[in-house]
Amino acid sequence: MTAMPDGAVPEEPSFVREDLREAFAALEVMPGFRAELIDGEIIVSPPPDGQHETMVVEVTSGRRGDRKGAERDRGPKRQGYAAADIPLYLLIDRLEGKATIFSEPRGNEYTHSASVAFGEDLPIPTPLESVLPTDEFF
């Protein structure tokens, strides 16, 4: 075995990384939970408790073949964030070409939403009260 310099980490074989990427891509997480691939580890985090989060932003993949991920953002994730009482959920939907803000969570749904096509300004309600220009989202 070859000695490694202090602090050096041997590189994983590429097949291990590819297997990990495939496992991560196939991972199904419960609504509201978040999965991330960080430094060769899959990290699954529970939904925020609503105490520190004002708004969650999701951006769908722009690839037509990734409809499953977009549907997860539009449905189960939105419901999970509402259930966690996150005041605002902003969905940048690249497949549909629109931005939607969901507000006023009640149970596992948001009671209000507003959508605009990319290129239009999206009003963001309280507690942030601002306007999001979407002309850069094309």
33 Cβ neighbours under 8 A, 6+ residues apart? 44, 45, 46, 47, 80
DSSP string of 84-119? TT-SEEEEEETTTTEEEEEEEEETTEEEEEEEEETT
d(CA 69, CA 118): 20
Is the predicted pLDDT of residue 2 greater than 50, yes or no?
A: no
Task: Give the pLDDT confidence of 109-132 residue by residue, as tens digits.
Answer: 999 999 999 999 999 999 999 999
Count the neighbouring beta carbons within 10 Å of the beta carbon of residue 38: 7
Are 30 and 48 contacting, i.e. CB atoms less than 8 angstroms apart?
no
Whole-structure pTM value: 0.64
CA-based nearest residue to 80, from 56, 62, 44, 54 = 56
Helix (H) or strand (E) run with residue 35 in it? strand 34-38
Task: Give the pLDDT confidence of 18-58 residue by residue, as tens digits.
Answer: 777 777 778 887 777 888 777 777 778 877 665 668 999 99
